[in-house]
Chain A
């Protein structure tokens, strides 16, 4: 018969007919579910591994333990002394905190959720790929160590997917540190709590009782290995699809039991979840623009594939070997919170390490490369050109260490057309085969809406498409950031040669500027620089002759592409600096302090105006996220000062320092022309722009 292969040992002859269930290191976990009963699946018996030192407890017993723990009792006592409240009252307070926080992981709820999730996931996604080898490591780790799962956070789907994967592979369901915002949701909040979510306030400052309950609640579950604990080291969902800089509060609380030798070790497992298409893409775009527009309703659309990569488990014992001395905690009871400086440094390092591992393990979809190309050719590009460019970017990204999801048995054209088709809300292909960003018509003017407002609206609407596109370019941007910092330094050089020392200085400046938008390990600048330089030299993008970069030979397609990719950031930062310098008002020689929120909002308005006037053309500068990151970076560089008034942070420019930064920033890229005046400040001439 026709399907019979020429050779008996071959089952499927036609490569087109080989299903994509197994792909490289990944396995699709939805495939089988499409051919069997969901009900039976969610009712099947589960045989999960358990931590070998675990003593089984119910969620109720955990709560009970927390309230009776030395740590909470100590905090209660302290609070009684401070507030003069009766002990019973403080205890009741502690008890209500536990109730608010605690999960109620139950088998029934899990099965219910699994059933419901499966239906949803099958609708939303084509395939959910998981690296099996990683899962098997997780399985053995769960048996031997308390486990911390640290997934990337790009979508609400993250923790549903994680729980589903654990359910699928017969692993104990993780308990998940969730923000309080979820708890408010009526049914959903309850369901999640029964599926292992526990709720933490976003900030609890110096509420010692809350700290004590929270810490004990997390730590006791780690020490007893009740369940794997899942939390997001980035703190919150990344609205930009870029990695956020790590947060350390939860990580510190989770690792303290190791430093205090309550457990032999803890395993940290970084998990990278890559989406072909993020569920909340348009939500994010509008959120970044300040919620000016209403989010489009998400209907039943195709969200492509998801790749979940379980990274190499990090043993905290091995990671901290020789870096911390745990015996320093021998001189005080362990329930009094204290971490040494070395331990805090280690936690910072581990946090950074985990997010860099996240990045390394992300799966890059063809679409994010398409987005990267489209971002640089906003006037439109033919499909043919696009294919060529994407292929070029693919090679570059591979050389820089990216893992790219590229179906080998399809032609490049099929792949790219398919990814264009997956995002009909962002791009369209015109009849003459040109790829264009979707243009949104301004809404009809109703009543007495001012003309300016309509224009503003149009700018924002167009920006939304750009921002969405940038979200996908951001899937791959971490691969390019370090090389780009070199490329920018090289391309902006006006001499024939640039010594490596000077190059390093320029590189280091960019790192400190970009340190909030991108993640760099503190103190690793030199290593990063050398590694990147070597990489670029080996792929022929940078030519080093006699200890200096030959500028002409190093100005090529690669460096230009890299420089252009990051131009929006530099322009945005530069504009922010100019804005800060111009908007200061002299009140007895001190610049007027403003809240961060008002600064970013005004900055956004300014950019919108400049875009409209076509002075600038990078819509990305409208992003509030970028503006906030810029302010943070400037604060760390001393360009901006901070002070607290009534508990609100106010910021003000440090004119001299900020001017220097602005000037330096301006040397890396072409900056838009702005009207400028020179003023004399403390006998130093500073160029300041007129009020923007």
Chain B
């Protein structure tokens, strides 16, 4: 058995079977309030908490944009950009440099506004398709559901440019006909059984943050479409301190999971940029990656066990072991299945004690190439901090203009000094320098030692420490940039991000060539304003890196901006593949990148996927048409 690999001094993998070795510090975590009676051994059952995201999401979240309704960029009465609300550190502050930057880089003009259409009235929303036999039987189950127009509209989309633009300017051709909110794994089993019986389509819906068109309903679908919203399945069912695992319902969103584990002194450490809204089930279904994967791993490293409800029945392993040799790993069928084969209902994840020390940092490099060299070296020496990201010059400048109005003279004085030091003293060209942002986690000593080592390596590549503040702002940018796109929409800007993974030796060429290609394609398509194109290296591995691109342009004078954008992004993806990059590092394939899947996995690979789909879901109940699914004409 796997016991072979248990090394002395480490906790036994089989929590329930271990005996007598519980030290004081490993005692089960006592909970502040009503601990559930059924807790047995060292498993803790946590109190359910009302979900952060309500059933009527549109009451909390924007219906036609990113994030919370109360948080957005807007132009204030002085003509400056301001971030509203009080949820974020940036909330309530004015960014005096941002407006001019937007004018200069993408040619925004405050005189040319492109406001969104007002809310889409019920009359414009298509009538739901109703399968009466299904509904009759389903009502008896007592599972909550809704066929409210706005509820259905909200679940008809993710957050690609195309979808948000459609919300602002038009309407989807096909949207879900009914929303169901299962409360547990058994509810999901029941729903899937009924769907199979009555030939009804299910599209699982977690956080709705997809950027691959994977939630889009196939317009040709004549059957009733259920949107299976997992948001009510948000309980942490138990925490096993001995094995450092937690068993969690798949509907929980990232911020809730981390917050509630933190109450008990733990974390999963899985922090994708969308963690405020995205769900655990979604992470599994798309093979998500978290910012701090260097310490905690990506979702495939964190996953210990998963329950997967399919039309054939429940797919799961019989034990919760750290590793097992049992033929092809069924977890890898589930991970990345993108809702084409079933619903993830419960997941056992690895957890870690919260790190006592958390520290930001940054390194300024004279040029992007130096930064890439340094990151590769750090990855090669396997001493990467929890997170290390390298922003190119364009992104660094963007980060700088996001600086809020400085509250004190001292800060601006210090900023001035730093700038002087870097540009004058070290001779860095402000138009060329690149910045790496760092996040260290661990004990104080570990962090100190790692910091020292990382900065030493950086020095070899001409990098100098740039302060914690720059680092922190870099990470803040990640959360904020999604909001910024909505401001862009108001002023004729379309923008989107896309990502890839690439071997180290091609990393620089890929960044350069993709940027060049984007510029070229914009020019060829007659886009009149300079596009904004920037990239950053966001993850490092032994064998390569993850690269993230942001691309946006001012579409004034262009009649079909979304179409043009999509064309150009497709060219960029071709270029990425030609440069040895991948179809996606963590966003997934969905519908937006289907055209490259065959090339990526080959005929046999694609055939294998199709064969699995055909066995698991012969009726095509999970008909969201993502991944390997053919056109409807071929189905």
Seen from chain A, the residues whose Cβ lies within 8 Å of a Cβ on chain B are: 53, 261-265, 325-327, 329-330, 333-334
Using CB atoms, name the residue of chain B closest to A330.
B580
- B504-515: contact bitstring with A at CB < 8 Å (1 yes, 0 no)? 011001101100
Q: How far is the CA of A265 from the CA of B521 in the complex (A)?
A: 13
Going nearest first, the 8 A-B pairs with the smallest beta carbon separation are A326-B578, A264-B516, A330-B580, A261-B579, A327-B577, A264-B513, A261-B578, A327-B578
B520:A261 contact, CB within 8 angstroms:
no
Q: How far is the CA of A334 from the CA of B505 in the complex (A)?
A: 9
A333:B580 contact, CB within 8 angstroms:
no
- B568-580: contact bitstring with A at CB < 8 Å (1 yes, 0 no)? 0000000101111
Seen from chain B, the residues whose Cβ lies within 8 Å of a Cβ on chain A are: 505-506, 509-510, 512-513, 516-517, 520, 575, 577-580, 599
Contacts of A333 in B (CB 8 A): 505
Min C-beta distance of B65 to chain A, whole Å: 34
Q: How far is the CA of A678 from the CA of B529 in the complex (A)?
A: 80
Q: How far is the CA of A571 from the CA of B579 in the complex (A)?
A: 53
Min C-beta distance of A73 to chain B, whole Å: 13
Contact of A264 among B505, B506, B517 (CB under 8 A): B517
Contacts of B510 in A (CB 8 A): 261
Using CB atoms, name the residue of chain B closest to A70.
B505
Contacts of B505 in A (CB 8 A): 333-334
Contacts of B517 in A (CB 8 A): 264
Q: A53-B512, A333-B505, A334-B505 are in contact. Are A264 and B577 (CB under 8 A)?
A: no
Q: How far is the CA of A334 from the CA of B508 in the complex (A)?
A: 14
Contacts of B513 in A (CB 8 A): 261, 263-264
Q: How far is the CA of A330 from the CA of B580 in the complex (A)?
A: 5
B516:A261 contact, CB within 8 angstroms:
no
Q: How far is the CA of A431 from the CA of B599 in the complex (A)?
A: 77
Contacts of B506 in A (CB 8 A): 261, 334
**7 further interface pairs, Cβ-Cβ under 8 Å (given A261-B578, A264-B512, A334-B505):** A261-B509, A263-B509, A264-B516, A264-B520, A264-B575, A327-B577, A333-B505
Contacts of B520 in A (CB 8 A): 264-265
Contact of B580 among A261, A263, A264, A265 (CB under 8 A): A261
Chain B residues touching A, majority SS: helix
Select the residue from B506, B510, B599 with max chain A CB neighbours within 10 A. B506
Using CB atoms, name the residue of chain A closest to B524.
A318
Min C-beta distance of B70 to chain A, whole Å: 43
Using CB atoms, name the residue of chain A closest to B596.
A327
Q: How far is the CA of A152 from the CA of B520 in the complex (A)?
A: 30
Contacts of A326 in B (CB 8 A): 577-579
B512:A329 contact, CB within 8 angstroms:
no
Using CB atoms, name the residue of chain B closest to A264.
B516
Contacts of A264 in B (CB 8 A): 512-513, 516-517, 520, 575
Q: A261-B506, A334-B505 are in contact. Are A327 and B580 (CB under 8 A)?
A: yes
B599:A327 contact, CB within 8 angstroms:
yes
Q: How far is the CA of A17 from the CA of B575 in the complex (A)?
A: 56
Using CB atoms, name the residue of chain A closest to B516.
A264
Min C-beta distance of A551 to chain B, whole Å: 51
Q: How far is the CA of A333 from the CA of B509 in the complex (A)?
A: 14
Using CB atoms, name the residue of chain B closest to A331.
B580
Contacts of A265 in B (CB 8 A): 516, 520
Q: How far is the CA of A334 from the CA of B509 in the complex (A)?
A: 12
A329:B509 contact, CB within 8 angstroms:
no
Using CB atoms, name the residue of chain B closest to A327.
B577
A262:B578 contact, CB within 8 angstroms:
no
Contacts of A53 in B (CB 8 A): 512, 516
Min C-beta distance of A291 to chain B, whole Å: 50
Using CB atoms, name the residue of chain B closest to A257.
B509
Contacts of B578 in A (CB 8 A): 261, 325-327
Contacts of B577 in A (CB 8 A): 326-327, 330
Q: How far is the CA of A53 from the CA of B516 in the complex (A)?
A: 10
12 pairs of residues in contact across A and B, judged by CB atoms under 8 Å = A261-B509, A261-B513, A261-B575, A261-B579, A261-B580, A262-B509, A265-B516, A326-B578, A326-B579, A327-B578, A330-B577, A330-B580
Q: How far is the CA of A261 from the CA of B599 in the complex (A)?
A: 18
Min C-beta distance of B405 to chain A, whole Å: 36
Using CB atoms, name the residue of chain A closest to B515.
A264
Q: How far is the CA of A261 from the CA of B517 in the complex (A)?
A: 12
Min C-beta distance of A320 to chain B, whole Å: 10
Min C-beta distance of A335 to chain B, whole Å: 9
Q: How far is the CA of A380 from the CA of B520 in the complex (A)?
A: 59
Contacts of A325 in B (CB 8 A): 578
Min C-beta distance of A58 to chain B, whole Å: 19
Min C-beta distance of A300 to chain B, whole Å: 50
Contacts of A261 in B (CB 8 A): 506, 509-510, 513, 575, 578-580
Min C-beta distance of B484 to chain A, whole Å: 28
Q: A261-B506, A262-B509 are in contact. Are A329 and B580 (CB under 8 A)?
A: yes
Using CB atoms, name the residue of chain A closest to B508.
A262
Q: How far is the CA of A53 from the CA of B369 in the complex (A)?
A: 12
Min C-beta distance of A74 to chain B, whole Å: 13
Q: How far is the CA of A333 from the CA of B503 in the complex (A)?
A: 10
Contacts of A329 in B (CB 8 A): 580
Contacts of B512 in A (CB 8 A): 53, 264
Min C-beta distance of A30 to chain B, whole Å: 37
Q: How far is the CA of A466 from the CA of B318 in the complex (A)?
A: 93
Q: How far is the CA of A330 from the CA of B510 in the complex (A)?
A: 12
Q: How far is the CA of A190 from the CA of B578 in the complex (A)?
A: 41
Q: How far is the CA of A330 from the CA of B505 in the complex (A)?
A: 11
Select the residue from A264, A265, A333 with max chain B CB neighbours within 10 A. A264
Q: How far is the CA of A263 from the CA of B516 in the complex (A)?
A: 9
Min C-beta distance of B356 to chain A, whole Å: 43
Contacts of B509 in A (CB 8 A): 261-263
Contacts of A262 in B (CB 8 A): 509
Contacts of B579 in A (CB 8 A): 261, 326
Using CB atoms, name the residue of chain B closest to A262.
B509
Q: How far is the CA of A262 from the CA of B520 in the complex (A)?
A: 16
Q: How far is the CA of A351 from the CA of B496 in the complex (A)?
A: 40
Q: How far is the CA of A334 from the CA of B512 in the complex (A)?
A: 17
Q: How far is the CA of A264 from the CA of B513 in the complex (A)?
A: 5
Select the residue from A53, A327, A329, A334 with max chain B CB neighbours within 10 A. A327
Using CB atoms, name the residue of chain B closest to A52.
B516
Q: How far is the CA of A263 from the CA of B505 in the complex (A)?
A: 14
Min C-beta distance of B342 to chain A, whole Å: 32
Min C-beta distance of A637 to chain B, whole Å: 39
Contacts of B516 in A (CB 8 A): 53, 264-265
Using CB atoms, name the residue of chain A closest to B510.
A261
Q: How far is the CA of A490 from the CA of B580 in the complex (A)?
A: 54
Using CB atoms, name the residue of chain A closest to B369.
A55
Min C-beta distance of A43 to chain B, whole Å: 32
Contacts of A330 in B (CB 8 A): 577, 580
Q: How far is the CA of A327 from the CA of B580 in the complex (A)?
A: 6
Min C-beta distance of A649 to chain B, whole Å: 40
Min C-beta distance of B577 to chain A, whole Å: 5
Min C-beta distance of A258 to chain B, whole Å: 10
Q: How far is the CA of A301 from the CA of B45 in the complex (A)?
A: 103
Q: How far is the CA of A265 from the CA of B517 in the complex (A)?
A: 9
Min C-beta distance of B371 to chain A, whole Å: 15
Q: How far is the CA of A265 from the CA of B506 in the complex (A)?
A: 16
Using CB atoms, name the residue of chain A closest to B582.
A330
Q: How far is the CA of A101 from the CA of B340 in the complex (A)?
A: 59
Q: How far is the CA of A173 from the CA of B382 in the complex (A)?
A: 46
Min C-beta distance of A75 to chain B, whole Å: 17
Select the residue from B509, B517, B577 with max chain A CB neighbours within 10 A. B509
Using CB atoms, name the residue of chain B closest to A334.
B505
Q: How far is the CA of A329 from the CA of B503 in the complex (A)?
A: 12
Using CB atoms, name the residue of chain A closest to B502.
A330
Min C-beta distance of A139 to chain B, whole Å: 17
Q: How far is the CA of A262 from the CA of B506 in the complex (A)?
A: 8
Min C-beta distance of B162 to chain A, whole Å: 25
Q: How far is the CA of A10 from the CA of B509 in the complex (A)?
A: 57
Using CB atoms, name the residue of chain B closest to A53.
B512
Q: How far is the CA of A334 from the CA of B580 in the complex (A)?
A: 10
Min C-beta distance of A137 to chain B, whole Å: 15
Q: How far is the CA of A334 from the CA of B506 in the complex (A)?
A: 9
